[in-house]
Each structure stands twice: as structure tokens, then as C-alpha cells.
Amino acid sequence: MQHLSWTGTLGAYLNPLFLTALVCFLTLAVAAIARGFSPRADGPHLINPTPPSVSLMGPSLVIGLALWLLSLSGVALLAPLALGNIWLSLILCLILGAAAGFALFQISAEMIFKLVWLAFYVTLLLFGLYLVIGLFVKPETMGIVGAISQRLIPTWIALAVTFALSILFKRKLPIWQTL
């Protein structure tokens, strides 16, 4: 019987990148929400007049906890943070999270908004890589995700053809006139 995993042997390379991009996206999204999610938050009229020490605490805790969980999960880049003592590791990661949260509040809200979108697109690209690479390699190399993407090739082709024809004939189709 084969050893079956979600991402197969290529997951050893893609999983750490995907998890890192996902954590960056989630961290930056929390930072953007804390900043008011608007470029106007840096102007003279603050949208959220919360004191910086309070508004800094939420993103800092999320960053620290994400670092701690990633270090415990065995991500090679963060493995040195998983010290022998789990509580010492948590305290170190929370301190690093506070430093990262403070650094994020030194960046303008507009830049954080752009970084959120960049991290989102990188995460989406890496997720797409799971599916696209799964089309061209053996299922045991890409695991369950690759096998599913190979089985859904006819569906993807039909979806692409339908979308292309819809765009091509959009002036004659009533669905586009009602939208």
C-alpha cells in the first residue's frame, strides 16, 4: 500500500512556502484591520483614535502566536525558535511578535494595504502551483491534491471554454446586459 498524503513529495518544498505566505497574509490583514484598513488613517483626522499601545497589542499577539505555532510545526526557517522549553519558546515568540507589531505600525496604512494584496496574490499563486504541478506529475508525487487536479481537467477545460465564449459574445448574451 502506498503512503498517501495531501501534497505528496513536492509538499516538502511547497508547504513551508505556502504556510509562510499564508501567515504573512493573515498577519498583514490583522495589521490592516487594526490600522483602519484605509490610507486615510495616517492623516490628521484619525479613523480609529485608539491609543497606539492598545491597537498594537492585537497584531503583536497574532504575530507572536503564529511564529510560535510555525516553530512548533517544524518549519525549517523557524525551527531555532522552538527551544527545548515550550513556555520559553512562547515568550520568545511573543517578544518577537511585539517587535514585529511595532515595526508594522511604523509603516503607513497604504503600504500595509499594498502588502496585504501582495501576500494574498503570493498565497493564491502557491495554491495554484499545487493544482498546476499536479496536472503534470504522477499522483504519488503530488498526492491527493495532484490526483484531484488531474481528475478535474475536463471540468477546468469546460469552465475556461464557457468563460471565453461568454466574454466573446457578451454583447449578445442577456446575462451580461442585466449585470
For the full predicted model, state whether its pTM sits above 0.75: no
The vertex-12 CA angle with 68 and 15, nearest 5°, equals 50
pLDDT in tens, 110-138: 788 888 899 999 999 988 888 888 778 77
Low-confidence ranges of the chain (pLDDT < 70): 1-4, 34-56, 59, 74-79, 139-140, 176-179
Q: Could you tell me the three cell numbers for 34?
A: 487594526
For residue 119, is it left (φ>0), alpha (ψ between -120 and 50) or beta?
Answer: alpha
- How far is residue 81's CA from residue 156's CA, in Å, rounded to a whole number? 42
- Could you tell me the residue ranges of all domains in the chain? 11-178
Predicted local confidence at residue 120, as pLDDT: 94
Predicted local confidence at residue 150, as pLDDT: 83
Contact between 20 and 75 under an 8 Å Cβ cutoff? The reply is: yes
